[in-house]
Structure 1
Amino acid sequence: MSPINYISHLLLLLLASVCSAKVFNSVGQLPTTEFDFVIVGGGTAGSVLASRLTEVSNFTVLLIEAGPSNANILDSEVPFFWQNLQGSRYDWNFTSVAQPALNNRTLAYARGRVLGGSSSINAMFYTRGSRDDYDRWAKVTGDKGWSWDSLFPYFLKHERLTQPADHHSIVGEYDPAVHGFNGMTFTSLPGFVQEIDPRVIQASSGLGGPFQFNIDQNSGTPLGLTYFQGTIGNGTRSSAATSYLGANVVKRPNLFIVLDTFVTRILPVTQGNSTKPVFNSVEVLVGGNTTVLHAKKELILSAGSIGTPHILLHSGIGDSDELKQLNITPTLNLPSVGKNLTDHGLIDVSWVANTTSIVDLINTNATVRAHFLEQWKETGTGPLGNGFGNNIIWMRLPENSTAISEFGDPSAGVNSPQYEIVIAALGTSSTGDHLVGVGNAIVSTASRGTLSIPSNNPTDAPLIDSRLLSSEIEMVFARESIRSARQFMAAQAWNGYILNELPATANATTDDELDAYIRETVISAWHPVGTAAMSATDAGYGVVDPDLLVKGTTGLRIVDASIMPFVIAGHTQTPVYVIAERAADMIKDTWVF
Structure 2
Amino acid sequence: MVVPPVAVLLVSCICFPSSLAALYTEPRQLPRHTYDYVIVGAGNAGNVIASRLSEDPRTSILVLEAGVRASWRAWFLSWYQHSRPICDQTACPPFGNETEHLLDTPYDWNYTVTPQKGLNGRTFPYNRGKILGGSSSVNYMVHQYGSSEDYDKIAEITGDAGWNWDNVKRNIGKHEKIVPPADGHDTTGQYIPANHGTNGMLSVSLPGSSQLIDSRVIATTRELSEEFPFNEDMGAGISATTYLAAAINRPNVHVLLNAHVTKLLRTGTIQGVPSFRSVEFAGKPGAPSIIVTARREIVLSAGSIGTPQILLLSGIGARDELEALGIPVVVENPSVGKNLSDHVLVPNIFRVKDGESLDALFRDPALFKAALDEWMETKRGVLASSMLNHMGYFRLPSTSSIFSTISDPASGPKASHWELIVTNFYINPKPGHIPPETGSYLGLVSALISPTSRGSVTLASADPFAHPLIDPNYLTTPFDIFAMRETVRAVKRFAAAEAWKDYIIAPFGNFSSDVDADLDAYIRDQASTVYHMVGTASMSPRGAEWGVVDPDLKVKGAEGIRIVDASVLPFPPNAHTQGPV
What does residue range 391-470 of structure 1 map to in structure 2 within 5 Å? 391-426=390-425, 430-470=436-476
Task: Decide whether the 8 Å contact of 1:361 with 1:427 is kept in 2.
Answer: no
- Spell out, residue by residue over 1:108-134, the C-alpha distance to the aligned partner (whole angstroms, 9 max, x if none): 211110000010011111121111111
Cα offset for 1:21?
4.4
Q: Say whether the 8 Å CA contact 1:107–1:524 is kept in structure 2.
A: no
Q: Distance in 1 between matches of 2:168 and 2:109?
A: 31
Question: Using the alignment, how far apart are the partners of 1:540 and 1:70 within structure 2?
Answer: 43
* Structure 1 stretches of 4+ moved >4 Å: none
Name the CA distance, whole Å, in 2 between partners of 1:95 and 1:20. Answer: 33
1:313 paired residue number: 312
How much does 1:466 deviate? 0.4
- How many corresponding residue pairs? 537
Separation of aligned partners in 2, 1:356 and 1:240 = 36
Distance 1:528 1:20, change over 3 A: closer
Residue aligning to 1:339: 338
Whether the 8 Å CA contact 2:339–2:538 is kept in 1: the answer is yes
Asked whether the 8 Å contact 2:349–2:426 carries over to 1, the reply is no
CA distance in 2, matches of 1:446, 1:184: 35
2:13 corresponds to which residue?
A: none
User: Which residue of 136, 141, 158 corresponds with 1:124?
Assistant: 141
In the alignment, what sits opposite 2:506?
500
Q: Name the amino acid aligned to 2:63.
A: L
Q: Deviations over 1:346-404 (max 9, x none)?
A: 10011111132484312100100110000010111111122222111211111121211
User: Counterparts of 1:381 and 1:260 in 2: how far apart (Å)?
Assistant: 35
CA distance in 2 between counterparts of 1:286 and 1:102 reads: 36
Q: Equivalents in 1 of 2:226, 2:173: separation in Å?
A: 30
Matched residue of 1:289: which SS? coil
SS at 2:552 equivalent: coil
Counterpart residue number, 1:575: 580
Could you tell which deviates more after superposition, 128-137 or 497-506?
497-506
Q: Structure 2: which 5+ residue stretches go unaligned? A: 1-18, 77-88, 428-434
Deviations 1:458-495 (A, max 9, x none): 11101001001111111111111111111111111112
Closer/same/farther in 2, CA of residues 358 and 569 from structure 1, 3 Å limit: closer
**Secondary structure of the corresponding residue to residue 266 of structure 2:** strand
Following superposition, the deviation at residue 85 of structure 1 comes to: 3.9
State the alpha-carbon separation in 2 of the partners of residues 63 and 321 from structure 1: 32
Whole-Å Cα distance in 1 between the matches of residues 45 and 231 of structure 2? 30
Larger deviation, residues 66-75 vs 514-523? 66-75
Please give the residue correspondences for 1:353-368 in structure 2 after superposition, counting only pairs within 5 Å. Answer: 353-357=352-356, 359-368=358-367
Which runs of structure 2 are paired with 1:134-145 in the superposition (5 Å)?
A: 134-145=151-162
Say if 1:363 and 1:427, in contact at 8 Å, map to a contact too: no
- Measure how far apart 1:293 and its partner are: 0.6
**For the residues of structure 1 that align with 2:568 and 2:111, how far apart are their CA atoms?**
20
Query: Which of 523, 535, 538 is the equivalent residue of 1:533?
Result: 538
Structure-2 residue corresponding to 1:42 = 42
Identify which of 243, 249, 252 aligns with 1:251: 249
- Contact 2:172/2:196 (<8 A) preserved: yes
The more displaced of 57-66 and 21-30 is 21-30
Q: TM-score, normalised by structure 1?
A: 0.88
1:171 aligns with 2:192: no
Distance 1:431 1:359 in 2: 13
Distance (whole Å) between structure 1 residues aligned to residue 21 and residue 241 of structure 2: 18
**Aligned residue in 1 for 2:273:** 276
Deviation digits for residues 178-199 of structure 1 (CA, Å, limit 9, x no counterpart): 1111111111111111110001
SS of match in other structure, 2:388: coil
- State the shift of 1:286 in Å: 3.2
Q: 2:283 aligns with which of 261, 283, 286?
A: 286
SS in 1 for 2:362: coil
Distance 1:200 1:30 in 2: 53
Asked if 2 retains the 8 angstrom alpha-carbon contact of 1:362 and 1:427, the reply is: no
Q: Which shifted more, 356-365 or 493-502?
A: 356-365
Partner of 1:262: 260
Shift of 1:72: 6.3
Quickly say closer, same or farther: Cα 1:350–1:358, change in 2 above 3 A: closer
What is the 5 A alignment of 1:60-75? 60-69=60-69, 73=73, 75=76
Q: State the Cα deviation string for residues 119-163 of structure 1 (Å, max 9, x = none).
A: 001111112111111101001101111111110011232111111
Which letter maps to 1:304? G
Aligned mates of 1:29, 1:431 — CA distance in 2 = 50
1:431 CA displacement: 4.4
Preserved contact between residue 349 and residue 509 of structure 2 (Cα < 8 Å): no
Q: C-alpha separation between the residues in 2 aligned to 1:393 and 1:358?
A: 20
Contact 1:70 1:241 in 2 (8 A): no
Aligned counterpart in structure 1 of residue 209 of structure 2, from 176, 188, 192: 192
Tell me which of 130, 148, 152 is aligned to 2:165.
148
1:317-332 pair list within 5 angstroms = 317-332=316-331
Contact 2:357/2:441, CA 8 A, preserved across alignment:
no
Conserved in 2, the CA contact under 8 Å of 1:131 and 1:415? no
What is aligned with 1:235? none
Question: Is the contact made by 1:408 and 1:473 (CA closer than 8 Å) also made in structure 2?
Answer: no
Rounded to whole Å, the distance in 2 between the matches of 1:311 and 1:514 is 40
Give the 3 Å change call, closer, same or farther, for CA 369–350 of structure 1 in structure 2.
same
Asked if the contact 2:357/2:424 (under 8 Å) is kept, the reply is no
Aligned to 2:52: 52
Contact 1:536 1:546 in 2 (8 A): yes
Q: After superposition, give the CA deviation of every residue in 1:315-359 in whole Å (9 maximum; x if it has no partner).
A: 100011220011111111011100100111010011111132484
How many Å separate the matches in 1 of 2:161 and 2:73? 40
Point out the structure with the larger helix share: 1
Structure 1 residue runs without a partner (length 5+): 1-18, 219-230, 232-237, 577-593
Q: State the identity %.
A: 40
Q: Does 1:205 align with 2:205?
A: no
Instruction: Report the secondary structure of 2:438's partner residue.
Output: coil
Q: CA separation in 1, counterparts of 2:73 and 2:350?
A: 33
Give 2:97's match in structure 1, choosing from 82, 91, 95: 82
Aligned counterparts of 1:37 and 1:497: Cα–Cα separation in 2: 57
Q: What's the secondary structure of 1:245's corresponding residue?
A: helix
CA spacing shift, 1:20–1:523, aligned 2, 3 Å: closer
Shift of 1:90: 1.3
SS in 1 for 2:68: coil
Name the CA distance, whole Å, in 1 between partners of 2:244 and 2:335. 33
After superposition, the C-alpha distances for 1:491-534 in whole angstroms (9 at most, x for unaligned) are: 1111211111114323x321100100110110011111010111
Residue number in structure 2 paired with 1:228: none
Measured after TM superposition, the shift of residue 55 of structure 1 is: 0.5
Query: Relative to structure 1, is the Cα distance of residues 100 and 188 closer, same or farther in structure 2, using a 3 angstrom cutoff?
Result: same
**CA-to-partner distance for each residue in 1:567-591, whole Å, 9 max, x for gaps?**
1122111110xxxxxxxxxxxxxxx
Aligned letter for 1:34?
A: T
* Partners of 2:533 and 2:243 in 1: CA distance: 23
Q: Distance in 2 between matches of 1:559 and 1:71?
A: 28
Do 2:307 and 2:567's aligned partners in 1 also have CA atoms closer than 8 Å? yes
Residue 122 (structure 2) pairs with residue 105 (structure 1): yes
Of 551-560 and 86-95, deviating more is 86-95
User: Taking structure 1 as reference, are residues 20 and 312 closer, same or farther at Cα in structure 2, changes over 3 Å only?
Assistant: closer
Residue of structure 2 in register with 1:16 after alignment: none
Decide whether aligned partners of structure 1 residues 286 and 213 sit closer, same or farther in structure 2, where only a CA change above 3 A counts: closer
Helix, strand or coil at the partner of 1:177: helix
Q: TM-score, normalised by structure 2?
A: 0.90
